[in-house]
Structure 1
């Protein structure tokens, strides 16, 4: 199963980390195991999972100089090694307070889809030093993350990617980091805001994917879709821009190949609240004040997650979809559930 997905958009603040965290939340509550690889020097995905890289002081080998190094292995060490299968050694299992799920609650209250079954979350974190890493890369160095993730450490062994149901790579704006991420993935999932700069970044991101196919010898990567982030249906400009993008795709304009999925992540404060608290949005399903917006966001994320599982050919996709429809009370189902079933 080709289960590695690079969440991409060549624009800052487009929603890459947001979508990565929303998908992780949805998939884990469905009982699946998810590995998040943070390829953004800002480390937002790791921060959102409650595991921000901390720097610690160490003494230099000679002299009295004090140096700083990360408190855990990061994606930097993984890429620098470049050895087959070494990604396994850098995975942190997330058990931070915010991401400890109440297994005794029903799904529509933030619990698991199947009673008592919560998936695992793994993280390979990142921090600011990643920004400087590409300066020394040669053409063959763009294969490093792929080798560490997609190949087994020993002959006949299991590749790190195969230990997880889904691997999500949260990418950066930087071109070189985007290429490294795409080389390790089988699919790209685009996400962006419905505003001019966000829409302008769509063909730029497609150009990057096409460049990876044509000049970095990875024709095995497909663009599975495009998701709108922080969408407000009441904004006339947002509606016009999304319509223009849909028309460009339908007309098969160059670099507008990404299929536009019928799911919009709503513009809701509960999303930023989840980031601030280093907790999933589903954690707000049990509160009366935030429950309604949290339910709307969660259902969108769940529909996207199920479409993703269909695309990668996950064997449980159909079964999980049926259980999902039954898990939400009919009076709380939004129209996104109809889209998600179609």
Structure 2
């Protein structure tokens, strides 16, 4: 099972929107897909229509070792897409995990125990921080997708994230690589947007995906209906962009398989 973390310590950059729509696109193309919601806010779970009453076994129990992935995963309305949902209990996990010697490897251990062949790919939606939950995701993952909002302050957060990734690679997970940086909330009417995009591409080069995700009202509306934008309105500009981004991502996946 390919494992990809979707992370950025800055909030409001389209991280969860990216995770659920990429997962939906993957499932639509035949990939048996799993999302692990590691954000205590549970936005990925809500955005896929998972009610609180359905979250009896969540990523909190998974990290504690109280249940396995197969027990916690529940099907979504999207065929071939399952999710390990999140609850507010997860907000206390960082404190509780301190007691465990393998506290940074809890998710890696849980995913290693998953039945072979049950899922083809796993996307891990991380919280907007570089705490223990995100570190668990980076250690468990083979690669990383970084949604990056096209604004000035996002660049500062990116450098901090890249430093953290390098440290994780050196100390815990030599296989960790950056699959790509996805530019989100792109507004061509704003000159700063183009400037940020140019700066990021100049620094990171081909690591940045060609596809950019535009600011789009339908992308914002979809979670309130408990649906990915690709199902809520597959014809909108945001959905079209995520379909294109998924194609780019799939094209890069064979490289991960060869390195694994």
Q: Give unmatched runs, 5+ long, in structure 1.
A: 55-69, 100-118, 153-157, 251-257, 315-342
1:122 aligns with 2:74: no
Q: Match of 2:102, SS?
A: helix
Q: SS where residue 52 of structure 2 aligns?
A: coil
Contact 1:39–1:172 under 8 Å retained in 2: yes
- Contact 2:151 2:196 (8 Å CA) reproduced: yes
Asked if 1:214 corresponds to 2:170, the answer is: yes
Larger helix proportion of the pair: 2
Is contact 2:219–2:239 with CA below 8 Å preserved after alignment? no
Report the equivalent of 2:92. 132
Aligned positions of 1:135-146 closer than 5 A:
135-136=95-96, 137=98, 138-146=100-108
Moved over 4 A (4+): none
Matches within 5 A, 1:16-55: 16-54=15-53
- Cα deviation, residue 125, structure 1: 0.6
**Aligned residue for 2:258?**
none
Aligned ranges 1:109-188 → 2 under 5 Å: 119-136=79-96, 137=98, 138-152=100-114, 158-159=115-116, 162-174=117-129, 175-188=131-144
* Cα displacement string for residues 53-103 of structure 1 (whole angstroms, at most 9, x for unaligned residues): 34xxxxxxxxxxxxxxx85100011110178xx2111101113xxx5xxxx
Displacement, 1:38? 0.1
Aligned pairs for 1:1-342 within 5 A: 3-54=2-53, 71-81=55-65, 86-95=68-77, 99=78, 119-136=79-96, 137=98, 138-152=100-114, 158-159=115-116, 162-174=117-129, 175-215=131-171, 217-250=172-205, 259-285=207-233, 291=235, 294=236, 296-313=237-254
CA drift of 1:182 comes to: 0.9
Alignment CA distance shift 1:71-1:304 (3 Å): closer
TM-score (norm 1): 0.69
In the TM superposition, residue 285 of structure 1 has moved relative to its aligned partner by: 4.2
Distance 1:204 1:150 in 2: 29
How far, CA to CA, are the matches of 2:240 and 2:125 in structure 1? 21
- Normalising by structure 2, report the TM-score: 0.89
Q: Structure 2: where are the runs of 5+ without partners?
A: 256-260
Question: What value does the CA root-mean-square deviation take over the aligned residues?
Answer: 2.1
